[in-house]
Every structure is written in structure tokens, then in C-alpha cells.
Amino acid sequence: MPEIAIERLRTLRLRDPGAVADAAARRMRRPLVGRSGRLMLIAADHPARGALGVRQDPMAMADRHELLRRLVAALARPGVDGVLGTPDIVEDLLLLGALHGKVVFGSMNRGGLSGAQFELDDRFTAYDAHSIVDAGLDGGKMLCRVDPADGASVATLESCGRAVTELARNRRAAIIEPFISRRVNGRVRNDLSAEAVVTSVVIASGLGATSAYTWLKLPVIDEMERVMAATTLPTLLLGGDPSGAAHETYAAWQKALAVEGVAGLVVGRALLYPPDDDVEAAVDAASALVGSTGAPASHTTADAAALDTTADTTTDSVRDAAAEAPAPDTNGGGR
């Protein structure tokens, strides 16, 4: 894996905070979806929820230098389209020059810390729609966990719906990661039954004043055909907790990627911390399954930012629906 200029990065953050905005303005942009119609994204938003563990190491992602080395290595692979991260991660990668020609999604609600009493309180504590636009990112991702026994879940639904509306108003993609979740012996567990995943899909699909820019990020389960029959929205598969054997994980991804409507993968820990520690080989294997060849980079001006691949086909009535919707308060939600 490549070495990175960690001391230079620290010096920039100490002496020149404005370097982050400068790097964002210089970043080379590209269309959201290239010729393949697929996306391969690396996820790096786990640490902000305090979720640092990988397999038997509960603090695997705690070393920022090591995490950045692995991210830079993964992003350099030809089949990788981009990254999903919180502001701290995205800005480190910007300063390292690792995001030119890449799709970048900002993670928005990280308030539900892993294992906390308030874990289901998925408040918007990171990016909001305005900061995503200002930074020239391609979209935002939000976690939307709904516990039918928890009355506070409605606040999560409301804040996610408003974020979807505001992102669409600015022609930015909104990736929703929905779950039906319940507390079992005091711990939050996501229900991965087909019925629960389908229910989460139809709930998430209806959030916001328009779904024109909405994508879904869903777990891989045995009945993916049934899940995908519940939506017409483009869908990315999440990598999940890398607890099983690598060959079984890849086989499950391959099977799910063949289902109509699935557009790619969003994977973090399973590829950044593979059992044999060969990040490049793990990423290449996953990219081969996705079949994403990426898209050519292009320069854009600071205020040009649109998801051109969908904007040209969006009807005026859908645009008007987003424009006339009330402005969101994405900092609300939760308990």
C-alpha cells in the first residue's frame, strides 16, 4: 500500500484550514454513473458512529493514518468509482489529492452511536444538504432505522424526508440506508427477514417531496429478487459486517448483483481490512463483480454541480415539486 504524507496533512490542518475548501474547489468532477451503469463505492463513515471493529479487532479502524493509507490504496484501483465518508474523512482525502475524478458522497446522520442508549437516534450530525453542495460533493447518504416500538423513529423519518427533498432541490443524489430495527436484550438489531427489508424499502422510497434523485443502499439477503421487486429506485448493496469467510461474501455479492435493479456495491470494512490484508486484491475482486469501469473525470466550476446523468431526464413537474417543498431542518430528528 502507498505511503501518505501524514505530517503534511497535519500541518495543513494546523496552519491552513482554508486548504480544505481550496482542495474541494480544485477537485475534478465526473458524472455520477459512467457507461457501465454501475457504481463501486468505498464506505468510510463507520468511525463517526464509534463503530471501529473489524472481525476480532474492536479498534481496527481507530488508527487514522492506517485507515487513510488503505482508503488511498482502494481509491487508486481502476474499478473504484468513489467514496462515502463523513467530513473529516472526505477532507483528509481531498487534502491528499485522492478524490480527483471520483464520485463523493457525504454521510449525513451519524448521531446514533454504536451501542449507545440513544443508538436509534439517527440525528443529522455530519453533512447537511447545503454543505454537500458547497463542497461540490455528488450526494448525501443517510441511515434510516425504524423501530416500530419506538415513537421517536418518526423524527428520523421526518428528518430523512426533508434531507431527501433538499438534496433533490439541488440535484444531488440521496442514498437512503433503511432498516426495520428492534432492541433485543438491550441491543439494536436490524431485522434482515425479507418481509422487514421489503417494508423498509417501501418506507424509504416514499420519503421526500420527490424520489427523482433517491437511491437505496440495502443489505444482501437470500431473497433479493423479492426485495428488488418492491422498488424501481437504483439500489446499491452494502457490504455488511465482514464476519464470514471471504469467498462466501463474494459469492453472495455476485448473486445479488445479478438481480435486476441492483446498480453496484458500497463496501467498507470487508475490503479495507480483508483477512489476508491485501487491500488491492480485495478491491479488485469486488470491482470485477460490479463490472464498473468508472467514468472520465471533468473539471467543473464551483457552482456547476448537478447530477447530469439524471437532470436531463427529470421532468419539469418533478423539479417543481422539489423546488416548492419547504426547506428542511436536517439538524433535527431523533430524541
Cβ neighbour number for residue 177 with a 10 Å cutoff: 25
Exposed/middle/buried for residue 7 (C-beta within 10 Å: 0-12, 13-18, 19+): exposed
C-alpha 48: how far from chain center:
13
Instruction: Give residue 211's pLDDT.
Output: 98
Single out the residue of 203, 238, 233, 200 nearest to residue 219, CA to CA: 238
**Cell numbers found for residue 105:** 458522497
d(CA 232, CA 230): 7
Cβ neighbour number for residue 265 with a 10 Å cutoff: 28
Instruction: Give residue 52's pLDDT.
Output: 86
- 159-213 pLDDT, tens digit each: 999 999 999 999 999 999 999 999 998 899 999 999 999 999 999 999 999 999 9
User: Domain residue spans in the chain?
Assistant: 6-324
Asked if 53 and 12 touch (Cβ cutoff 8 Å), the reply is no
Asked if 203 and 194 touch (Cβ cutoff 8 Å), the reply is no
d(CA 3, CA 7): 11
Instruction: Give residue 30's pLDDT.
Output: 95
Single out the residue of 159, 155, 168, 163 nearest to residue 210, CA to CA: 168
* DSSP character string of 94-151: HHTT--TT-EEEEE----S-TT-TTTT-----S--HHHHHHTT-SEEEEEEEE-TT-T
Q: Where are the alpha helices (DSSP H) in the chain?
A: 6-15, 19-26, 64-75, 87-95, 129-134, 153-169, 194-205, 224-228, 246-257, 269-272, 279-290, 308-311, 316-324
Instruction: Give residue 135's pLDDT.
Output: 97
Instruction: Give residue 315's pLDDT.
Output: 35
Name the residue with cell 423501530. 147
The H or E element spanning position 236 is strand 235-238
In words, the CATH class of domain 6-324 is: alpha beta
Work out whether strand 103-107 and strand 262-267 pair parallel, antiparallel, or are unpaired: unpaired
C-alpha 302: how far from chain center:
23
d(CA 34, CA 157): 31
**Cell numbers found for residue 80:** 473504484
Asked if 136 and 101 touch (Cβ cutoff 8 Å), the reply is no
Mean pLDDT by 10 residues, the chain (335 residues): 88 97 96 93 94 89 96 97 98 97 97 89 95 98 95 94 98 98 92 98 98 98 97 95 83 96 96 95 96 44 32 37 41 37
Phi first, then psi: what are they for 161, rounded to 5°?
A: -60, -40
Asked if 114 and 51 touch (Cβ cutoff 8 Å), the reply is yes
Largest alpha-carbon pair distance within the chain? Answer: 53
